[in-house]
Amino acid sequence: MTERLDVVVVGAGVVGLAVARALALSNREVLVLERHRLIGSETSSRNSGVIHSGIYYPANSLKAKFCVRGRELLYAYCDAQGIAYRRCGKIIVAQEAQVPALRELERKGRVNGVDDLQWLTGIEVRALEPNVRCAAGLMSPSTGVVDAHSYMTALHGDLEAHGGNVVFDSRVVSAAVRGNSILVRVRNGSEDIDLECGLLINSAGLQAADLLRNIDGYPAEKLHRAYYAKGNYFSCTGAKPFRHLMYPMPNEAGLGVHATLDLDGTIRFGPDVEWIDSSDDYQVDAARALPFYEAIREYWPGLVDGALQPAYAGIRPKLVGPGSTAADFIVESSRDHGIAGLISLLGIESPGLTSSLAIAEHVVQLAR
């Protein structure tokens, strides 16, 4: 027997939960399918936990729009829900040869609507952060860190309070277009269950691109290739050298090996970029500490040998591979692929956490 539902969301990461909550708040009947046994088990719980301001992204890109809008929505939501965060600010530091590129970042940020940026000389940076060596810095006061787990728990609670549910240990095996509906086959444990829905939201994160291959009727020419960028993190036990988040200049695949603060001021460094073939390789190779030392000492020369210890790793879903400029988020709807009732969220990496409520807002508009 096939169960008929209004909305099925695939993936209970931070974006899937935000989307499901927003749809439930708009009086839609929502069921979330999560292949793991906990919410946010992949990218959502294995990142820096940073609330970004919106500096890095091309003008008018979805990343820029969703990050700037999402930042304000997220701070307001945290205040309303009592979710712990610190608006500690971030300093992007540049060495002498990098100063023109830092000026370009400042310009890009202002174009994106980040209007609180402050240019700092090297002396001004050292007055704020005596352990840092640089030629110049760019302060972003609106950047912060958030308790991502508490945020996701609050989203989950809101969803349930408005009639939605998350079903765990449930993996989408296939889907097919059936008239104005989409038939979804779900493997729950060892049992296969058929669901019919009017709206299917693909927020499967690392598996989002692959899920499209299992949708009968999805045009082959629209398929996307998935790339996996593993980001390793190292802790720095006992050291609290910074009061702000400290970021080097970004590279083509990420934001560089930066210093992130936990809510209690504990510091960790990362992520780097390690291209991998599997979406479930979370082991941190201790030997990767060597390039971490080299990268960190560019702006913190006082880092001592032996201070770094392997912490954890996360994997970012990428739409382009090594050597390519970072791709924008993709939000596909029927006008893109011709399937009524299918919305796919693809390449949702950083700043996905910051952007989550803005992405949800956008999906609700598309769903109307």
What is the torsional sign of CA 275, 276, 282, 283? negative
Q: Is residue 203 part of a domain?
A: yes
Residues 206 and 231 in one domain: no
Asked if residue 79 is part of any domain, the answer here is no
Residue 361 CB coordination number (10 Å)? 17
Tell me what pLDDT residue 253 has. Answer: 60
Residue 279 burial by CB count (10 A; 0-12/13-18/19+): exposed, middle or buried? middle
CB atoms within 10 A of CB 238: 8
Helix (H, G, I), strand (E, B) or coil at 23: helix
What pLDDT is stored for residue 256 in this prediction?
87
- Quick: pLDDT tens for 230-243: 999 999 977 789 99
Count of CB atoms within 10 A of residue 24's CB?
22
304 and 247 in one domain? yes
Q: Region 72-92: what's the mean pLDDT?
A: 98
Convert the pLDDT of each residue in 144-161 to its tens digit.
999 999 999 999 999 999
Instruction: Please determine, for residue 252, whether its predicted confidence score (pLDDT) is greater than 70.
Output: no
Around Cβ 110, how many Cβ atoms within 10 Å?
13
In a shared domain, residues 341 and 269: no
Range(s) of the domain holding residue 350: 3-46+150-224+327-367
Model confidence band, residue 254 (pLDDT cutoffs 50, 70, 90): confident
Half-sphere exposure of 337 (CA within 13 A, CB side): 24
User: Per-residue pLDDT tens for 126-136?
Assistant: 999 999 999 99
Task: State the pLDDT at residue 113.
Answer: 97
Task: Find how far residue 226's CA is from the centre of its chain.
Answer: 16
Q: Does 136 lie in the same domain as 284? A: yes
Residue 356 lies in a domain: yes
For the chain, what is the mean pLDDT? 96
Task: Output the domain CATH number for residue 218.
Answer: 3.50.50.60
Averaged pLDDT for residues 41-70:
97
Name the domain count of the chain.
Answer: 2
Please report, for residues 177, 186, 216, 256, the alpha-carbon distance to residue 6 in angstroms, rounded to integers and kept in the order given: 15, 16, 20, 42
Q: Are residues 158 and 209 in the same domain?
A: yes
Angle at 204 between CA 203 and CA 208, to 5 degrees: 100
73: confidence class by pLDDT, cuts 50, 70, 90? very high
Residue 185 and residue 214: Cα distance in Å, rounded?
10
User: Is the pLDDT higher at 26 or at 2?
Assistant: 26
Say yes or no to pLDDT of 327 above 80: yes
Confidence of residue 164 (pLDDT cuts 50, 70, 90): very high
Co-location of 120 and 231 in the same domain: yes
- Smallest Cα–Cα separation from 201: which of 51, 324, 84, 362? 362
The predicted structure's pLDDT at residue 47: 95
Report whether pLDDT(269) > 80. yes
Q: Report whether pLDDT(65) > 70.
A: yes
Give the whole-number percent of the chain exceeding pLDDT 70: 99
**Residues facing residue 294 across a β-bridge:** none
Mark whether 345 and 218 lie in a shared domain.
yes
In the prediction, which pLDDT does 187 show?
A: 97
State the pLDDT confidence band at 264, using cuts at 50, 70 and 90: confident
Give exposure, 43-64, as e/b (b: 16+ Cβ within 10 Å): bbbbbbbbbbbbbbbeeebbbb
DSSP 306: T
Mean pLDDT of 331-359: 97
Residue 58 in domain? no
Measured CA to CA, the distance from residue 59 to residue 362 in angstroms comes to: 18
pTM for this structure? 0.97
Are 230 and 310 part of one and the same domain?
yes
Question: Residues 36-48: what's their mean pLDDT?
Answer: 96
